[in-house]
């Protein structure tokens, strides 16, 4: 937990603050687009409603002209003209309804895309925040510093060694035994090492397969 060195945070801080600003802009864009889309959809729905009333009016008008035509109060051309106007309005209403359905689907898709961009940005921010905390290099365990990178001002990359620590609770011991036990000594075998009155437990991690003076 002891602080060993501090890395310069300036570059990461600037990057972090820049990403924060971009994230804020994206969130504002989501709010603005939501309001814009709601406004456009409402306008289309109002237009659709108005066109429905116009259709009702044109249908009633066609029915009136058709009745007048039967009694000689309107010409055939007037009936055909009213019928044509009704057909055109029906097509326009279908076109409007199609546009309205497309806009509703597009709104959902566009909003989802923006939300994904925000999520990606937030992930990057968390990563940069983690890097900021790691600019303070602290000892992960008890031990003694055996080497430290003292090149002040040097740019370091991720994964580059900055400090080496020795754990004083681990020992590497060299020992020998009689060659008559050579067929019993194997890698990974447990061993007991007695130093004065202390017995330490360990295991064999390497064997030098050479015999000298019967050892």
User: In this predicted model, what pLDDT tens digit does every residue of 39-97 receive, in sequence order?
Assistant: 888 888 888 888 888 888 888 888 888 888 787 777 888 888 888 888 888 898 888 88
Cβ proximity of 99 and 44 under 8 Å = yes
Whole-number pLDDT of residue 30: 81
- Give backbone dihedrals phi and psi of 72, rounded to 5 degrees, phi first: 85, 10
Cβ proximity of 128 and 16 under 8 Å = yes
Cβ proximity of 35 and 41 under 8 Å = no
Neighbouring CB atoms inside 10 A of 47's CB total 15
Whole-number pLDDT of residue 204: 93
Q: Which residue has the tokens 């602080």?
A: 3
Contacts 24+ apart (CB under 8 A), 38-46: 40/103, 41/100, 41/103, 41/104, 41/107, 44/96, 44/99, 44/100, 44/103, 45/100
What is the number of residues in the chain? 215
Q: What is the rounded CA–CA span in Å between residue 137 and residue 175?
A: 38
SS3 state at 191 = strand
- Global pTM reads 0.46
Taking only the tens of pLDDT, the chain with its 215 residues reads 899 888 888 888 888 888 888 888 888 888 888 788 888 888 888 888 888 888 888 888 888 888 887 877 778 888 888 888 888 888 988 888 888 888 877 777 777 888 888 888 889 888 888 888 888 888 888 888 989 988 888 888 888 889 999 887 777 888 888 888 888 999 999 999 988 888 988 999 999 878 888 78
Cβ proximity of 16 and 129 under 8 Å = yes
Q: Which residue has the tokens 């000689």?
A: 72
Residues in CB range of 55: below 8 A, 6 or more apart: 86, 89, 90, 93
Q: What is the rounded CA–CA span in Å between residue 80 and residue 63?
A: 12
- Give backbone dihedrals phi and psi of 130, rounded to 5 degrees, phi first: -60, -40
DSSP character string of 90-118: HHHHHHHHHHHHHHHHHHHHHHHHHHHHH
Q: What is the rounded CA–CA span in Å between residue 149 and residue 90?
A: 79
Q: What is the rounded CA–CA span in Å between residue 32 and residue 39?
A: 11
């Amino acid at each position: 937990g002891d602080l060993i060195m501090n890395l310069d945070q300036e570059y990461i801080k600037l990057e972090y603050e820049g990403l924060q600003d971009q994230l804020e802009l994206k969130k504002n864009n989501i709010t603005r687009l939501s309001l814009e889309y709601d406004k456009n959809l409402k306008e289309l729905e109002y237009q659709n409603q108005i066109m429905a009333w116009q259709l009702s009016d044109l249908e009633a008008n066609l029915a009136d002209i058709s009745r007048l035509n039967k009694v000689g109060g309107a010409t055939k051309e007037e009936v055909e003209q009213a019928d044509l106007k009704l057909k055109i309005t029906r097509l326009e209403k279908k076109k409007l309804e199609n546009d309205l359905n497309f806009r509703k689907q597009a709104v959902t898709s566009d909003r989802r895309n923006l939300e994904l961009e925000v999520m990606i940005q937030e992930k990057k921010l968390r990563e940069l925040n983690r890097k900021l905390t790691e600019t303070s290099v602290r000892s992960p365990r008890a031990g003694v510093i055996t080497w430290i990178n003292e090149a002040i001002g040097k740019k370091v990359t991720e994964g580059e060694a900055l400090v080496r620590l020795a754990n004083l609770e681990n020992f590497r011991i060299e020992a020998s035994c009689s060659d008559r036990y050579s067929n019993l000594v194997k890698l990974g075998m447990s061993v007991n090492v007695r130093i004065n009155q202390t017995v330490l437990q360990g295991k064999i991690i390497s064997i030098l397969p050479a015999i000298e003076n019967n050892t």
